[in-house]
Copies of this chain bind each other. A is one copy, B any other.
């Protein structure tokens, strides 16, 4: 950050005069995130912390929320970050600083801790050393706790309350989400009790030695009811179908906490902010107790955590909310309902009270989608030591949006777009690709795949005739030619990735086409990362327009790219003599995406869909035969696409539900499922055969 010492001093002074605690914390964030070097601005940081200390000293009950971005398994990195935040909080003199779930280990560590238990020992060692360094300001820190009790899984998902040089208490997670991207119960034992247990239980806790003690933690005269993530997601008045028997929050509330605190690692998804906001608000209102929620930011593989830590007063009113998709050090005071409400990604605020209905109006979710994916890309690269990306630019929508996202996430100088025309590629497509690259300022190269296709075909034709001598099952019509083109391109991209340091090839498949298996293995599906694999095509159109309007650089995507009908330009349509249009091969994307939405979100069956009116049908008249044919094609193609889904590289979860491996477990061997069902009479007949 370019700032003279005097400018910084002036700024601190001004904010101090304005008693702007949030403004001062924003400067502290620059230090904590390394944008201001504390060696250079040593005195100024001290001044800043003093200023905050002065502003806070007339009241107790201040809490710092440490919305941080850990690296899963990198315990040293995470611990040092935690220590830095604790030190700042201590200098400021808040009562307590609260970190997200599993901060020291990072979330989700998955089966890795079963296979390599040494890293659990490590996170415990670091925790104990951090505890020794705490002072008057307490810290709530998440970690994996090994169990010695023989029965059950080997670990707890725990929080330690640290202060005055020691561990003051331990809280353990009871409700273990095991759905979607969550797999907690694979390696974590549920705690049989809510709330605080004595520090002597550390590593020795057993359901048989539960001590009856206050479930709350008393810290500087205020009692806190502390829980971990899912533990607050089971209120049976809010949820019509709660997942678990126990409700740890209601247990905590039996001891009348002054404040409820929840430490989370909760990734972003469409529609989730609405649910989370209303659920937390409901709990605070129900128990007439302020609720403080601290969430992780940053991405791990497919999961992109949004942060948006927040606090509600005892009437369920939001009084503090952190930024989304950014680390933040935030000071609140639940007693005073003190805090700053930062905005959500644009569009989301208005949807918080809206009914959950299906609409093809993606607009309110596009900024969140953008931030979710950008963070997903950035963290996958940064946390795995990658820096650069190479992708094919076809002039089509998928590669275009992918290129924009990669450029924004990694910086345009770190992205190479390669146009790889074949003989089918139109000159328009080549120009569109080049224009896009110019607009984005990414690197650009053009390399024809014509020779590759010819040489491959020569070799393959020879091989095919050898095979044909033995096997009489050669297809009359195949996608061999289409696939050779897609695979030649992928081969080039992987070549660049092999040859240049820290460079990852990008798979540009979108969600709609993956559902239809309209993607080539080792071709466009292939890469080290797939940024838009959970974005349906109709949303991509809206997203492209949104990007043109909302990025600093306007209209980077040539209008012609958004306007053209999607098609892979891998084959010529014999009827038109022009490249085949995807919707001709599949079905209208609006129809397709609605089918996906109805299955994923409403669990509708074939006959449910046949018997209800689609949004698509409200706009376009189609016959029952046409609808049946598209539905048949959908299920047929989807059943055969399942095995392709298992070959997708890491991506980013965007929608309420996805087909990404980390999120959706399915047997490939289920291609015989009859999604249409049978009538009882027919079943009886068939059984009598």
Residue numbers of A with Cβ under 8 A of B are: 71-77, 79-80, 83, 108-112, 114-119, 121-122, 125-126, 128-130, 132-133, 150-153, 178-179, 183, 185-187, 207, 236, 240-245, 299-301, 379-380, 383-385, 388, 390, 413, 416, 418, 443, 445-449, 451-452, 454-456, 458-460, 462-464, 466-467, 470-471, 473-475, 478-480, 483-484, 487-488, 490-492, 494-496, 498-503, 521-522, 526, 528, 599-600, 603, 605-608, 643, 646-647, 649-650, 657, 661, 664-675, 677-678, 680, 683-684, 686-689
Contact = CB atoms under 8 A, between A and B. Distances in A.
Contact of A647 (B471, B606, B647, B667): B647
A672 B379 CA distance: 13
A501 B475 contact: yes
A669 B178 contact: no
B673 A74 contact: yes
A69 B33 CA distance: 57
A669 B126 contact: no
Contacts of A384: 643, 668-669, 671
A146 B105 CA distance: 37
B463 A73 contact: no
Which residue of A83, A501, A521 has the most chain B CB atoms within 10 A of its CB atom?
A521
Contacts of A109: 667, 670
Given A122-B674, A643-B650, A151 B686 contact: no
A14 to B, nearest CB: 32
A620 to B, nearest CB: 26
B500 A475 contact: yes
B76 A678 contact: yes
What is the copy number of this chain in the assembly?
2
A385 B600 CA distance: 26
Given A459-B447, A460-B495, A669 B71 contact: yes
A674 B76 contact: yes
A388 B471 contact: yes
Please provide the 7 A-B residue pairs with the shortest distance between their CB atoms, ordered closest to farther: A118-B605, A74-B672, A445-B466, A73-B673, A473-B501, A73-B670, A455-B455
Given A129-B687, A418-B463, A686-B76, A474 B499 contact: yes
Contact of A80 (B242, B301, B483, B687): B687
A236 B208 CA distance: 15
A411 to B, nearest CB: 13
Contact of A125 (B79, B130, B678): B678
Contacts of A521: 494, 526
Given A186-B178, A669-B380, A603 B242 contact: no
A115 B459 contact: no
Given A152-B244, A458-B451, A491 B522 contact: yes
Nearest to A119: B673
A664 B459 contact: no
15 contacts: A72-B669, A110-B667, A115-B603, A125-B680, A126-B683, A128-B680, A132-B684, A150-B241, A443-B471, A451-B455, A460-B496, A464-B499, A471-B503, A473-B502, A521-B526
Contact of A116 (B458, B479, B492, B673): B673
